[in-house]
């Protein structure tokens, strides 16, 4: 088992938080870098979508390079429910995360989730499920309702 963390261009403080969390939890993480934040900085239409796709692609490629054939992300049951609700409220669509996906671009690679566990269950076991990352977004990329507000709204509706 390998623990991978991609640094898509975090500032020094955010990178330090990730490294410190890994040290505190005793996780021997391999951190690899990319320039994804720089690549999407000037994109006006759907920069978040492009950034997410690029991060996933870099993660798949690096995992395959290390001989891995499965990737488990930190998304849990609460994330799935919140994402469905966010799509319904803000995107007029009903979509969900699948518990297991077979990559179409990386043969033999599977993406699996922790969907049978809630965020509270994972937190009780001492696993950090969220790392707060902050970076400034240019005004041209800002959307009327920031994604963090969307998620907080979805969380409050579900409580």
121-158 pLDDT, tens digit each: 555 544 443 333 333 334 444 445 566 666 776 777 66
- Listing DSSP states for the chain in one string gives --EEEEESS--HHHHHHHHHHHHHHT--EEEEE--HHHHHTT--S-HHHHHHHHHHHHHHHHHHHTT--EEEEEEEHHHHHHHHHHHHHHHS------SEEE-SSSTT-EEEEETTS-HHHHHHTT------------GGG--SS-HHHHHHHHHHHH-
78-135 pLDDT, tens digit each: 777 888 888 888 777 777 777 788 888 888 888 877 666 666 655 554 444 333 333 3
| pTM exceeding the 0.85 threshold for the entire prediction | no
């Amino acid at each position: 088992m390998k623990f991978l963390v991609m640094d898509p261009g975090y500032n020094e403080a955010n990178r330090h938080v990730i490294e410190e969390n890994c040290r505190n939890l005793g996780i021997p993480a391999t951190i690899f870098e990319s320039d994804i934040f720089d690549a999407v900085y000037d994109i006006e239409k759907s920069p978040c979508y492009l950034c997410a796709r690029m991060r996933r692609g870099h993660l798949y490629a690096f995992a395959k390079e290390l001989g891995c054939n499965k990737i488990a992300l930190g998304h849990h049951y609460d994330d799935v429910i919140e994402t469905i609700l966010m799509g319904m409220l803000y995107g007029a669509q009903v979509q969900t995360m699948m518990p297991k996906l077979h990559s179409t671009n990386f043969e033999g690679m599977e993406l699996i989730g922790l969907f049978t566990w809630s965020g509270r269950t994972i937190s009780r076991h001492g696993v950090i499920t969220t790392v707060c990352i902050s970076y400034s977004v240019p005004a041209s990329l800002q959307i009327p309702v920031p994604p963090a507000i969307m998620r907080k709204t979805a969380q409050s509706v579900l409580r």
